[in-house]
Amino acid sequence: MEGLHLEYYLVVSAIMFFAGVYGFITRRNLLAVLISIELILNSVDINFALFNRFLFPGQLEGFFFTLFAIGVSACEAAVAIAIIINIYRNIRNIQVKNLQQLKD
Amino acid sequence: MNFLSLFVLVPVLMMGGLFLAKTLKQIRVVAATGASLLLALAVGLVFAYLGERAAGNTAEMLFTAKSLWYAPLHIYYSVGVDGISVAMLLLSAIIVFTGVFASWSMGFLEKEFFLWFCLLSTGVFGFFISIDLFTMFMYYEIALIPMYLLIGVWGSGRKEYAAMKLTLMLMAGSALLLLGILGIYFLSGESSMNLLELARAYIPAETQYWLFPLVFVGFGVLGALFPFHTWSPDGHASAPTAVSMLHAGVLMKLGGYGCFRVAIFLMPEAANELAWIFIILTGISVVYGAYSAIVQTDLKYINAYSSVSHCGLVLFAILMLNQTAMNGAILQMLSHGLMTALFFALIGMIYGRTHTRDIRELGGLMKVMPFLGVCYVIAGLASLGLPGLSGFVAEMKIFVGSFMHADTFHRVFTLVACTSIVITAVYILRVVGKILYGTVADEHHLTLSDANWYERTSTIVLILAIAGIGLAPLWLSDMIDGSLLPIIQNVKL
Amino acid sequence: MEYTLLIVLLPLLSFLFLGLAGKGLKPRVAGYIGTIVLAIAAGLSYITAWHYFTTAKVDGVFEKWTPLNFRWLNFTEHLHIDLGILLDPIAVMMLVVITTVSLMVHLYSLGYMHGERGFQRYYAFLSLFSFSMLGLVVATNIFQMYIFWELVGVSSYLLIGFYYTKPEAVAASKKAFIVTRFADLGFLIGILLLSFYTGTFSFERLTSGDTSLFAGAEGLSFMGCSVMSWALALIFMGGAGKSAMFPLHVWLPDAMEGPTPVSALIHAATMVVAGVYLVARLFPVYYLEAPDVLVLIAIVGAVTSLYAAIVACVQTDIKRVLAFSTISQIGFMMVGLGVSGLEGHEGLGYMASMFHLFTHAMFKALLFLGAGAIIHAVHSNEMTRMGGLWKHLPITHLTFLVACLAIAGIPPFSGFFSKDEILAATFHFNPVLGAVMSFTAGLTAFYMFRLYYRIFWNKATHHDHAPHEAPGSMTVPLIFLAAVTLVAGFIPFGKFVTSDSADYIIHLDWVVATISVAIAVIAIGLATLFYRKESSIPDRLATTFRGLHAAASQRFYLDEVYLFITKKIIFNGISRPVAWFDHHVVDGTMNGFATLSQRLSGSIRGFQSGQLQQYVMVILLGALLITVLVVFI
């Protein structure tokens, strides 16, 4: 653990975060978008855990937050997939650009 | 519990009763009972008021009560009446009463109709009893909103368009109004929303100059001030009978009353200085409405334009800023309220039978429905200012009062306004001659029936009120005169 | 004198009763109620007249009595409308005239209107009219007069339009109301001006001769005339409308669409003289404050009189002839007032005018009722459908002849005395005007006898069934009015009604009298020559003066002018553009605002594409931008 500075972890999480953002913006498939969101959430989870571990050792708020976020993302994934399945049933397609019915 | 709050409470209770009512009969019973109760209350109020005055009570407002409502802005629920509001309350009660009977057989969604109708009445009554600016404004909004649904759902013709137009224009007016009210509140230096306290406070003249137009136009939109009157013909034409009655009969009076109670009362200097602009506009309203009415072919449009002309006269007289003309303005509000309600009621009844309001398709109805025909003639005569009916009293007061100004500007506009009595005669007689006299235009009309008992109730009450004011105007005009003094003194300062 | 109130009030009660309960009554009962009420009112008027003329004279001058006056509406401290009763010689005379003629018409209508639909309504309206007219003449102030002025206007409207299924009647009633309403606008403005400067509506104060009352208006002028002249001229405009003075007379001939007894009552004897009465009522004000307006009145009267007499010569509808004759005679009365002075013998014109009003009411009512009996017999208004009726309608014939002689000014019939005095006053004022009026008087004799001969003599037309004399209820009024016409000329009118309420001793001006009788006789002679038997002279004359004849029978195209003004200018020229403006410009602007905001929101709607990824992109860029801003600036 001695050699592993906070920055190394942060770089990984930053790469994960921006990969997620990139994926979220560019992917056309809803499932891929969902996966990108998971990436973003996970990168944030890593940050929570890291900051708790390195900056406030002996306290647990960051870890709890991480656990919460994992729970929430699990629920979110479940709901989102349900919605996606429903959308697929309705329009036989899960491409983002085709989802325009709510707008009109 | 203050006696005046009953005016708001009764419609609210009516709404409660309507929620519980199941059958059409129950709905009618609730509506009729409530409306009769309101009428009785209003008549009682008139006697109570006259009694108090006779007993020597000289307070500006009688039967006052207040309770704090929202402390940070000093908003009170404060009520009180003077002769003018008593007169307006009586008018509203009569119109609500007759309106209920005029919509006796609505045909569909009666419960919802009466619910909204009661909400509208709540707003109207609340407006006239309030002496707190914000409470007044709130009731004003309560009266406006139900209009949208009442016209949009139960209306006829281009009802969605009309409802939207009416609501939007009136809302734009109330936006100006809200601005004006907040301006008055913050710039008067008095931490109060109470009209009487604000009137004693001094609003700097420069501030008045820009607040006055806001408030006057804000209320003026509702009072059919040219060129913001166009919601009125479309709105009235599309609205169901009782709503037209209430709207032209009472709601448009909210505009006149507000102009007078808020704009003139609180900002006398600006009123003196800026009156000329609005005298021009209202002068145009008077003649313009009358000329427009001549060429219309839809009965309701004719009446709506006639309302523009008559309500223009109300605002015109208010701006003359002297006692006689203002008294005339209040009388004109009453008189126009009653006769236009009568007109709309009759038009509704005729339309309900013939299914057309186009005067080119009507004719000879006097023979088929003599009762309605006679009532229509009486309404027409009241509208063109026949002595013995209410219109004459009001118009004469306005003309004599306006003519007291010795300068050319006021005189010219008074003369212009006077010409409306001729033009009014033209369009009224045109309609009467076309639809009532002559031969029956459509043979299907020969089998039509005359008025029912509920239709008779509603028209007879209105005619009695019109003739009552027309024959014995002195008590009413004295009652109003007494209450005008504070306002006149404020203007003269 | 409080009982005079009943004279006014009884017809009102009768109107309310017949109007509300009339439908439940038998027609005959309704007619009797109306007639009896009017008979009581007439009796009371006679008592009033007797009472007044015997007791009201103090120091040789009639006092004004105000038995009743209460406040009806306040304007300011000084200006208020009162309702009340003012009795002075002209008011009392009018009470007598109105109740008498009205009673005769009520009685006559029992026969004439028998079996008509709406018989009860007819009597209700007659009562309403009697009430309004009586209220008008006893008015204590000018505003009360205006109130009742409007009410008579409405009763006239209702009665002209009595046959409301007939389009002509409806159009005529509308026209009558609107034309008089237009004139009333002038009246109203005149009242406003007058009351503004004098601070009172009261006749008693206005006519007291107190010039300090008018001090406020002194020196003020507008377009070269003093303010008082304007006020009084405008008030006269109101009178001119009601009294059918040129050019506001167009409604009266059309008003003949109403039932004939109504024409006799309203459009011959009573309501149409309201304008004369108005001027007479305010005469001291006119004389002292605006003598120029009096000249105007005289000229308008003379023009009207001549114009109507010319037109009457060529009309073929007997009621129209009588209508134009009425216009012409009212013109005489106006001239009488216009040329009159105020004091003593200067006041001949005033006295004569009132006298003529009185006699004219009687014989013109007689003429109309006679015409009604004729129409009743032949079922037509057209002269061409008549002729040789004298043997079928003996009573009508004789009474009609009496009236014709009276209006032509043949002594000893009443018209001679009153008209002669007007002519004398006019000659005294201005010989040219006098000559014009004498010529008009000649024309009057001519067209009346043209009418008389074409109805009763000339060539008898064939009728399906022989015309028969009218029933007793119709002939009794005829006989009564004929009797009045025979004796009325000998009433010492100067003892009762004069400009200064003092006695006036009438001297016949023999020169004027001889000339006018001679003119009348010549005119009657001509009429006899032309129309006694069938003759080709009238046709030859008509072809010789083709233009004049055509113009006169079209009433000099005045109706066309009016039609042009109302239809083309007001309806098409003002109202349509105003309505267009309202619909397209004002409304268009409002709709334009709506469209504009819709467009605007449409154009920024693209930003809200609904594409989540685009939103995130924008959020990201925004976050970056803010970061850059925060970090580097």
pLDDT grade for C490, boundaries at 50, 70 and 90:
confident
Q: Give the B window 427-486 contacts with C, CB below 8 Å.
A: 429-430, 433, 436-439, 473-474, 477-478, 481
Average pLDDT of chain B? Answer: 87
- Please provide the distance, in angstroms rounded to a whole number, between the alpha carbons at the two ends of chain B: 37
pLDDT grade for C145, boundaries at 50, 70 and 90:
very high
Radius of gyration of the CA atoms of chain B, in A: 21
Query: What pLDDT score does B1 carry?
Result: 55
Structure token pair of residue C491: 């009433």
Is C20 at the interface with chain B, CB within 8 A? no
Is C624 at the interface with chain A, CB within 8 A? no
Contact C185 B421 (CB under 8 A): yes
Residue A104 scores a pLDDT above 70: no
Region C106-121: what's the mean pLDDT? Answer: 86
Query: What pLDDT score does C625 carry?
Result: 93
DSSP class of residue C384 equals: G
Q: Give the C window 580-619 contacts with A, CB below 8 Å.
A: 608-613, 616-617
Which pLDDT tens digit goes with each residue over B405-461? Answer: 878 888 888 988 888 888 899 889 988 888 888 888 777 777 777 878 888 888 999
Considering the domain boundaries, does residue A65 fall inside one?
Answer: yes
Structure token pair of residue A44: 């944030």
* Chains adjacent to A (≥3 CB pairs closer than 8 angstroms): C
Query: What pLDDT score does B60 carry?
Result: 80
- Looking at the DSSP assignment, which residues form a beta bridge with residue A1? none
Contact C587 B323 (CB under 8 A): no
Residue C404 scores a pLDDT above 60: yes
CA distance A75 to chain C (A): 20
Query: What pLDDT score does A2 carry?
Result: 57
Structure token pair of residue C14: 């009768």
Interchain contact A/B (3 or more Cβ pairs less than 8 Å) = no
Contact B387 C570 (CB under 8 A): no
- Taking Cα atoms as reference points, which of B84, B121, B126 lies closest to residue B99? B121
Region A18-38: what's the mean pLDDT? Answer: 88
The CATH number of the domain holding residue A59 is 1.10.287.3510
CA distance B267 to chain C (A): 25
Is C74 at the interface with chain B, CB within 8 A? yes
User: Best of A17, A83, A103 to disrupt the C interface by mutation (most C CBs within 10 Å)?
Assistant: A103
Which pLDDT tens digit goes with each residue over C208-236? Answer: 877 777 777 777 777 777 888 888 999 99
Name the residue facing B438 among C146, C167, C576 (closest C-beta): C167
Region C393-403: what's the mean pLDDT? Answer: 87
pLDDT grade for B91, boundaries at 50, 70 and 90:
very high
pLDDT grade for B24, boundaries at 50, 70 and 90:
confident
Q: Give the C window 191-210 contacts with B, CB below 8 Å.
A: 192-193, 195-196
Q: What backbone torsions phi and psi does residue B291 show, to the nearest 5 degrees?
A: -65, -40
Distance CA(B3)–CA(B44), nearest Å, equals: 10
**Three-state secondary structure of chain B:** CCCCCHHHHHHHHHHHHHHHCCCHHHHHHHHHHHHHHHHHHHHHHHHHHHHHHHCCCCCCCEEEEEEEEEHHHCEEEEEEECHHHHHHHHHHHHHHHHHHHHCCCCCCCHHHHHHHHHHHHHHHHHHHHECEHHHHHHHHHHHHHHHHHHHHHHCCCCHHHHHHHHHHHHHHHHHHHHHHHHHHHHHCCCCCCEHHHHHHCCCCHHHHHHHHHHHHHHHHHHCCCCCCCCHHHHHHHHCCHHHHHHHHHHHHHHHHHHHHHHHHHHCHHHHHHHHHHHHHHHHHHHHHHHHHHHHCCEHHHHHHHHHHHHHHHHHHHHHCCCHHHHHHHHHHHHHHHHHHHHHHHHHHHHHHHHCCCEHHHCCCHHHHCHHHHHHHHHHHHHHCCCCCCHHHHHHHHHHHHHCCCCCHHHHHHHHHHHHHHHHHHHHHHHHHHHHHCCCCCCHHHHHCCCCCHHHHHHHHHHHHHHHHHHHCCHHHHHHHHHHHHHHHHHHHC
Query: What pLDDT score does B451 carry?
Result: 78
Distance CA(A50)–CA(B442), nearest Å, equals: 90
**Count of domains for chain B:** 1
Residue C198 scores a pLDDT above 90: no
Which residues of A have a CB under 8 Å from any CB of C? 21, 24-26, 33, 96-97, 99-100, 102-103
Query: What pLDDT score does C464 carry?
Result: 65
Contact C620 A25 (CB under 8 A): yes
Contact C75 B397 (CB under 8 A): yes
**Count of domains for chain A:** 1
> Which residues in chain B have Cβ-Cβ distances shorter than 8 Å to C590?
165, 169, 230-231
Using DSSP, state whether C71 is helix, strand or coil. strand
Contact C620 A96 (CB under 8 A): no
Distance CA(B163)–CA(B306), nearest Å, equals: 20
User: Between C431-456 and C318-338, two packed helices, what is the crossing angle to 10 degrees?
Assistant: 160
Nearest residue on chain C to A18, judged by CA atoms?
A: C620
Question: Residues 6 or more apart from A97 whose CB is under 8 A from it?
Answer: A28, C611
Structure token pair of residue B159: 């009802």
Which pLDDT tens digit goes with each residue over C549-576? Answer: 777 777 777 778 888 887 778 888 888 8
Which pLDDT tens digit goes with each residue over B132-159? Answer: 888 899 999 998 888 888 888 888 878 8
Is C189 at the interface with chain B, CB within 8 A? yes
- Taking Cα atoms as reference points, which of C270, C152, C140 lies closest to residue C206? C140
Region B2-11: what's the mean pLDDT? Answer: 85
> Which residues in chain A have Cβ-Cβ distances shorter than 8 Å to C616?
21, 24-25
Query: What pLDDT score does C626 carry?
Result: 94
> Which residues in chain A have Cβ-Cβ distances shorter than 8 Å to C612?
33, 96
Give the domain range for residue B169. Answer: 3-492
Region C340-366: what's the mean pLDDT? Answer: 86
User: Best of C82, C136, C165, C223 to disrupt the B interface by mutation (most B CBs within 10 Å)?
Assistant: C165
Give the domain range for residue A60. Answer: 6-98
pLDDT grade for C579, boundaries at 50, 70 and 90:
confident
Residue B62 scores a pLDDT above 80: yes
Residues of chain C above pLDDT 90, percent: 17
Name the residue facing C170 among B323, B393, B433 (closest C-beta): B433
Region C610-633: what's the mean pLDDT? Answer: 86
Residue B254 scores a pLDDT above 70: yes
* Chains adjacent to B (≥3 CB pairs closer than 8 angstroms): C
Name the residue facing B425 among C79, C178, C195 (closest C-beta): C178
Contact C574 B396 (CB under 8 A): no
Residues of chain C above pLDDT 70, percent: 99
Distance CA(C393)–CA(C350), nearest Å, equals: 38
- Looking at the DSSP assignment, which residues form a beta bridge with residue C2? none
Is B165 at the interface with chain C, CB within 8 A? yes
Q: How many residues are there in chain A?
A: 104
- Taking Cα atoms as reference points, which of B435, B452, B483 lies closest to residue B52? B483
Query: What pLDDT score does B234 carry?
Result: 86
Query: What pLDDT score does A103 carry?
Result: 56
Distance CA(C312)–CA(C446), nearest Å, equals: 10
Considering the domain boundaries, does residue A1 fall inside one?
Answer: no
Is C592 at the interface with chain B, CB within 8 A? no
Region C315-326: what's the mean pLDDT? Answer: 88
Query: What pLDDT score does C128 carry?
Result: 92
Residue C462 scores a pLDDT above 70: no
> Which residues in chain A have Cβ-Cβ distances shorter than 8 Å to C608?
103
Considering the domain boundaries, does residue A46 fall inside one?
Answer: yes
Which pLDDT tens digit goes with each residue over C29-68? Answer: 888 998 999 999 999 999 999 988 888 778 778 888 888 8
| Least confidently predicted of B365-369, C94-98, C160-164, C382-386 | C382-386
Contact A25 C617 (CB under 8 A): yes
User: Best of C607, C609, C612 to disrupt the A interface by mutation (most A CBs within 10 Å)?
Assistant: C612
Nearest residue on chain A to C617, judged by CA atoms?
A: A25
Considering the domain boundaries, does residue A103 fall inside one?
Answer: no
Q: What backbone torsions phi and psi does residue B183 show, to the nearest 5 degrees?
A: -60, -45
Considering the domain boundaries, does residue A104 fall inside one?
Answer: no
pLDDT grade for A102, boundaries at 50, 70 and 90:
low
Query: What pLDDT score does A82 carry?
Result: 93
ipTM: 0.90
Angle at C43 between CA C38 and CA C48, to 5 degrees: 120
CB contact at 8 A, B211 and B183: yes
Name the residue facing A96 among C608, C613, C617 (closest C-beta): C613
pLDDT grade for B493, boundaries at 50, 70 and 90:
low
CA distance A87 to chain C (A): 16
Residue B217 scores a pLDDT above 80: yes
pLDDT grade for C136, boundaries at 50, 70 and 90:
very high
Average pLDDT of chain A? Answer: 85
